[in-house]
Structure 1
């Protein structure tokens, strides 16, 4: 069932080398910085109820950034890369929304949230450069016509 006819396909794959390549990407490094900064910001919220409300959303948003970068980098399929990129954008924007909410609630020093927003903006600029590296050579559409026009189905 799971037979692979190309036995030599994975012979050159080195997971440790791939991990190092991933960790060297500026966008991955920035995502990890955002994750750590988000964790520290959440930890500094004194109000337990506010922390509980925001922590799960913000931590999830920040963790997904680097996870989806890794997912996109692990494949060559343009559509799958773009799907991961879309999820990254959604979670980065959600994180921005959470900072606005925390600013409104005045539970943290404004400087903390401005710093996170600044890092997200730096991430956005890296993101724009990163997605330009995706090679638009899909063999077929995604069935939805979202990133590539599908042939009449």
Structure 2
């Protein structure tokens, strides 16, 4: 079993790293969860946007996790597309990705972060301090709930 210390979480700084992040998302969302590609990769992935991408690498330098942060409205960031390869789940990697995304949010002046959690992941986000907001809704055929946290 891999331990948390073997992972590196970093902000994406070039196209190669971004492609690694997108490849993780492809495996998790498109192949595993059957999300249509035209929904998974969107305008916020364009290189001209201010979206911040983060990437998790294992001890061998292989991409195993990803996520992104973008401005939702002034002072509020939105965390999206948090993905961990199935082989690396339950090792604390999701928490490390979220901690990095929250740190990036703080560095970028956001006081609040929002996310839309898949319903099965709601307990994970609640353990990280997120509170559900509103009713559940369907997105890409998967039930979600909006959640929010002050950072």
Normalised to the residue count of structure 2, the TM-score between the two structures is 0.31
Q: Compare relative contact order (CA 8 Å, sep 6+) and give the higher one, 1 or 2.
A: 1
User: Greater CA radius of gyration, 1 or 2?
Assistant: 1
Q: TM-score, normalised by structure 1?
A: 0.31
